[in-house]
């Protein structure tokens, strides 16, 4: 176990390191001058040079790289080219906003998807199952931004039930940021993107759970449980679902990182001031310290999530012994 952990941590660290390096050089070596917008070509040449010095872009590349690495060790991600503020602070807030949107909806969607998926597999062949599978696939096939637009069109504009976007009503911003997350107004704003995200995220766990369940149901131990006279609903939850949950539960941590990355579109539609929106804006402005740090954050989430998934696997499946 300890060996496994050390090995996995080492892999994770290596992965992150390569990503950091790759990202750093990607921005600087690929065609297209990222400084072109930070340092607007519309500025006078002298002003441009001054800005270059200000951002440390006048140094040789490898020195920039080592400075970057050195700063990373103390969690200094550099300064945003756009706002000139430390990137960490820039991202932190946005990340929280993204997480309050993504995390609950993902967990809820997973929960719902797993339950419904399991139940539908249990009732395989029924009309309801066919319909739900079709619906889930169609939802999965729908661009989420379009789904969001329709939701706004219908729920916000037609029915006037929810705000069209943003995170709180203008002027209702409480003094302390954390208070916002507990305000009714915030929940009111959260509702619609939350629902859209749930609808979208629901498909994957639903379909996955259903298909794993279908193969689990054919397993001999389900048959034995039935022979033992174990009541049906107990077979469903204690045996079938417990086993089918494995692949699903273990994808959750990994998917989470991806969901944060994928929040770009949903945040755009709902003007949700989260990390996704920030990333797109930052890419548009070539604010690569911000982009790099966001990517790093997501990579840490994903790599960490994968690690967690592997550990969870061991926890949930006694057959895994980490040797």
Partner 1 sequence: MLLDVQDLAKHYVLGEGFSNLFGLSNPQKIRAVDGVSLRLQPGEVLGLVGESGCGKSTLARILVGLESPSSGALLFNGNDIAEDIKSNRKLFHQKVQMIFQDPYGSLNPQHTIEEIVTRPLIYQRLGLSKAELRERAIAALNDAEMMPAERYLNKFPHELSGGQRQRVCIARALVLQPDLIVADEPISMLDVSIKWSIVRLLKRLVKERNIGLIYITHDLSSVPAICDKLAIMYLGRVVESGLCDDIFKHATHPYTQALLAASPNPNPDIRRGRPNISGVIPNASDIPAGCRFHPRCPNAQPQCEMEQPAERHKGYHRAECHFAFDAKTEVTNRA
Partner 2 sequence: MANNQKEVLLEIKNLDAHYNVDGQPVSALQDVNFAIQKGERVGLVGESGCGKSTLLKAIMGVLAPNAQITRGAIKLREVDLLQASQEQRRQSRWNDIAMITQSALNALNPVHKIGDQIIEAIQSHRDVDKQQARARATELFELVGVPPQRLDDFPHQFSGGMRQRAVIAMALALSPEIVLADEPTTALDVIVQDQIFERLDLLQKEQAFSMILVTHDLALVVESCSRIIVMYAGMIVEKGPTHEVVRRPFHPYTAGLRYAIPDPSAEYEPISIPGAPPDLSQQIKGCRFAPRCPLATSKCELEMPPLVSSLASDAARQTRCHHADQMDQLRDRFHDQSFWQTAKTTS
Partner 3 sequence: QGEKVPPVDFLTWPAAKYQHYYETSSYIADGWRELGLEVNLNPEPFPNPMLGKWFSEHDFDVVMSVLSGAPYRMEPDFFTNAQFNSAHSAPGDWNVGEFADERVDELGEKQLAIYDADARRDVILELQEVLYDLQPEAVIGSAISTTAINTDNLEIPGYVPAPDGLRSIWNQLEMVSLTGQAVKMGQTIDQASFNPLAANIAEDFNNLSLIYDRLIELGPDGKPRNRLASNIKIVDETTIDVTLREGHTFSDGNPLTAEDVKFSFDYFKEWEAAYYKKYLEHLDEVIIQDDGTIRFKLTEAYAPFILHTLGQVFIVPKHVWGSVIEDTGISKPQEFRNTNPIGSGPYSLNYWKEGQEIYFTRRADHFMKPKSDLLFVIFGSAEVVGAALKKGDIDVSLQPLVPTVVGEFEAQENLKIFRTYPNGYMSARYKASGEVFKHKALRQAATAAIPYEKIVDEVLGGDATRSASSIVPINAFWHNDSLPLPEYDIEKAKKILVDAGFTWDENGALHFPE
With H, G, I as helix, E, B as strand and everything else as coil, classify residue 322: coil
Q: Does 220 bind partner 2 (CB under 8 A)?
A: yes
Query: With respect to partner 2, which residue has the nearer C-beta, 79 or 121?
Result: 121
Query: With respect to partner 3, which residue has the nearer C-beta, 195 or 316?
Result: 195
Burial (Cβ within 10 Å: 0-12, 13-18, ≥19) of residue 206: buried
Q: Does 315 bind partner 2 (CB under 8 A)?
A: no
Query: With respect to partner 1, which residue has the nearer C-beta, 175 or 323?
Result: 323
Q: Does 70 bind partner 1 (CB under 8 A)?
A: no
Among 167, 225, 290, 298, binds partner 2 (CB under 8 A): 225
Interatomic CA distance for residues 69 and 67, integer angstroms: 5
Q: Which residues pair with 79 in a beta bridge?
A: 86
Among 11, 43, 223, 284, binds partner 2 (CB under 8 A): 223
Q: Which residues pair with 86 in a beta bridge?
A: 79
CB neighbourhood size of 199 (10 A): 20
How near is the Cβ of 323 to partner 1 at its closest, in Å? Answer: 7
Residue 86: what are its φ and ψ, rounded to 5°? -60, 135
Q: Does 13 bind partner 1 (CB under 8 A)?
A: no
Query: With respect to partner 2, which residue has the nearer C-beta, 154 or 221?
Result: 221
Q: Does 2 bind partner 1 (CB under 8 A)?
A: yes
Residues in the chain: 323
DSSP code for 86: B
Q: Does 226 bind partner 1 (CB under 8 A)?
A: no
Q: Does 321 bind partner 1 (CB under 8 A)?
A: no
Among 30, 44, 229, 323, binds partner 3 (CB under 8 A): 44
Q: Does 228 bind partner 2 (CB under 8 A)?
A: yes
| Contacts of range 147-156, beta carbons closer than 8 Å, 24 or more positions apart | 147/196, 147/199, 147/200, 148/193, 148/196, 148/265, 148/266, 148/269, 148/270, 149/269, 151/192, 151/195, 151/196, 152/192, 152/269, 152/270, 155/192, 156/192
Contact 1, 320 (CB under 8 A): no
Q: In the window 285-304, what residues touch partner 3 (CB under 8 A)?
A: 285-286
Burial (Cβ within 10 Å: 0-12, 13-18, ≥19) of residue 127: exposed
Q: Does 64 bind partner 3 (CB under 8 A)?
A: no
Query: With respect to partner 1, which residue has the nearer C-beta, 6 or 47?
Result: 6
Q: Does 17 bind partner 1 (CB under 8 A)?
A: no
Q: Does 3 bind partner 1 (CB under 8 A)?
A: yes
How near is the Cβ of 202 to partner 3 at its closest, in Å? Answer: 24
Residue 98 interacts with which of partner 3, partner 2, partner 1, none, CB < 5 to 8 Å by class? none
User: Of 198, 185, 102, which Cα lies nearest the Cα of 147?
Assistant: 198
Residue 60 interacts with which of partner 3, partner 1, partner 2, none, CB < 5 to 8 Å by class? none
User: Of 155, 186, 153, which Cα lies nearest the Cα of 169?
Assistant: 186
Among 109, 121, 132, 167, binds partner 3 (CB under 8 A): 167
Residue 143: what are its φ and ψ, rounded to 5°? -60, 130
Site for partner 2, rule CB under 8 A? 219-221, 223-231, 234, 238-239, 242-243, 246, 316-319
């Amino acid at each position: 176990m300890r060996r496994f952990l050390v090995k996995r941590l080492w892999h994770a660290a290596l992965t992150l390191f390569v990503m950091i390096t790759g990202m750093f050089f990607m921005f600087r070596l690929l065609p297209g001058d990222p400084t072109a917008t930070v340092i607007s070509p519309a500025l006078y040449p002298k002003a441009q040079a001054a800005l270059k010095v200000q951002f440390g872009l006048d140094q040789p590349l490898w020195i920039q790289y080592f400075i970057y690495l050195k700063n990373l060790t103390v969690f200094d991600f550099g300064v945003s080219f756009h706002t000139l503020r430390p990137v960490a602070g820039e991202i932190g807030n946005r990340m929280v906003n993204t997480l309050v949107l993504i995390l609950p909806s993902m967990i809820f969607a997973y929960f719902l998807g797993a339950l419904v998926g399991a139940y539908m597999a249990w009732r395989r062949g029924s009309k309801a199952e066919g319909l739900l599978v079709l619906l889930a696939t169609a939802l999965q096939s729908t661009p989420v931004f379009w789904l969001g637009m329709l939701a706004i069109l219908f729920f916000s504009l037609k029915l006037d039930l929810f705000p069209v976007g943003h995170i709180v009503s203008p002027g209702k911003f409480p003094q302390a940021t954390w208070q916002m997350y507990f305000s009714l107004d915030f929940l009111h704003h959260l509702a619609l993107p939350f629902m859209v995200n749930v609808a979208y995220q629901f498909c994957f766990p639903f379909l996955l759970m259903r298909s794993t369940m279908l193969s689990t149901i054919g397993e001999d131990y389900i048959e034995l449980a039935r022979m033992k006279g174990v009541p049906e609903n107990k077979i469903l939850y204690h045996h079938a679902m417990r086993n089918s949950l494995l692949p699903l539960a273990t994808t959750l941590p990994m998917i989470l990182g991806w969901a944060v990355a994928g929040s770009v579109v949903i945040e755009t539609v709902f003007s949700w001031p989260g990390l996704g929106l920030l990333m797109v804006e930052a890419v548009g402005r070539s604010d690569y310290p911000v982009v790099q740090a966001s990517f790093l954050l997501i990579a840490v989430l994903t790599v960490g999530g994968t690690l967690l998934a592997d550990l969870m696997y061991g926890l949930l499946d006694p057959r895994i012994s980490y040797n």
